Structure 1
């Protein structure tokens, strides 16, 4: 897919706002949003834009740190609480990615911990994987309700430095930036 000029402007704006750490410290940048909102696409484009500025980038996805199926579904295959609490191996992500890139970290990181493709039987998201695109559809309950739990518990929109409306990938816009 060819990026629109507006999309390139937004991605470029965000890339330029990422500060350069002095003294060898790494800066860790997160891209967050609801399932199917374009996080992976945006993160890939942002990494490319930062590289184009001549800066080193390591691109890692939390999607490569899922728990095995037995853990992901221990609260039931349809459980939103289970999706929210049990999908990702956050400790392994912290140990394998965040800590190595923290100040004083070794920078020896683990790019992935679990291949979800070998452990999944149902497709996950409408555009990407072919699930029902209607958020009200019963098949989407696990994911939609888990996102509601996450937003209520963590308020990521209040903690983000930059908020982007990414509903339309071609006409995304910056909603808010902090100084």
Structure 2
């Protein structure tokens, strides 16, 4: 399936939902699987259809460095358990947008670069606003029930590792160091996620993204 056709079909699925509160879409997958790209394309398609869309990411809800790295900067368990502030994600974004929520939301809790908490001004969502959130561990059991439509992006680990290492080469100083970080931290943590939470089985749709130009539904 051509990529634009798949994105259009996913948009159709979301617009078919009959809800009386904002729609919350989760896009999950292992690190460097293509979650962010798909999320951005989906947001663009929905906006093209004149829908109000808010884009955010679990990366706006990190824990501060003292918590993120308390088990070591290279620790897979540390990344899996400590990287993100799920309580803030739920309280500031997901719960307020739910059926009984007050629609007052925030899309960020921590400035990652400054390592400072952010008390952003609350915004008010309309009932027909669509929120698209991407993140590696979004379909954990404690979060999954708070989303209205769940997408899992499936990409083979080797392909994702190569894409991710290429993307992060400058950040880590070399392709080899970036690849090592994916093996030892990011993808080791992703394996824990797949084993403990089985996100593929709990998603509404699974998209195979091995071939970026021609993804397909599983």
Query: Structures share a fold, TM > 0.5?
Result: yes
| Closer, same or farther: CA 14–48 of 1 in aligned 2, 3 Å | same
Question: Out of 76, 82, 96, which is 1:80 matched to?
Answer: 76
Cα distance in 2, alignment partners of residues 69 and 165 from structure 1: 33
Higher relative CO (Cα under 8 Å, sequence separation at least 6) belongs to 2
**Corresponding residue pairs, total:** 165
- Find the aligned partners of 1:142 and 1:128 in 2 and give their Cα distance: 16
- 1:149 is aligned, of 167, 179, 192, to 192
* RMSD between superposed Cα atoms in Å: 2.2
Aligned partners of 2:40, 2:84: CA distance in 1, in Å?
A: 20
Question: Offset of 1:137 from its aligned partner?
Answer: 4.8
Deviation at 1:135, TM superposition (A): 10
2:9 matched residue in structure 1: 13
Q: CA separation in 2, counterparts of 1:75 and 1:44? A: 32
> Can you give the 5+ residue segments of structure 2 that lack an aligned partner in the other structure?
116-163
1:100/1:35 CA distance change after superposition, 3 Å:
same
Out of 206, 209, 215, which is 1:163 matched to?
206
3-state SS of paired residue (1:32) = strand
Partners of 1:6 and 1:137 in 2: CA distance: 29
More displaced, 100-109 or 136-145? Answer: 136-145
TM-score (structure 2 length as normaliser):
0.69
Distance 1:127 1:31 in 2: 22
* Structure 1 outlier segments of 4+, above 4 Å: 131-137
- 3-state SS of paired residue (1:60): strand
After superposition, where does 1:9-158 map in structure 2 within 5 Å? Answer: 9-18=5-14, 19-22=16-19, 24-119=20-115, 125-130=164-169, 131=172, 137-140=179-182, 141-158=184-201
For residues 114 and 167 of structure 1, the distance between their equivalents in structure 2, rounded to whole angstroms, comes to 32
In structure 2, C-alpha distance between the alignment counterparts of 1:41 and 1:139, rounded to whole Å: 21
Contact 1:25–1:103 under 8 Å retained in 2: yes
Secondary structure in 2 aligned to 1:29?
strand
Normalised by the length of structure 1, the TM-score is 0.83
Whole-angstrom CA distance in 1 between matches of 2:46 and 2:13: 10
Asked if the contact 1:16/1:50 (under 8 Å) is kept, the reply is no
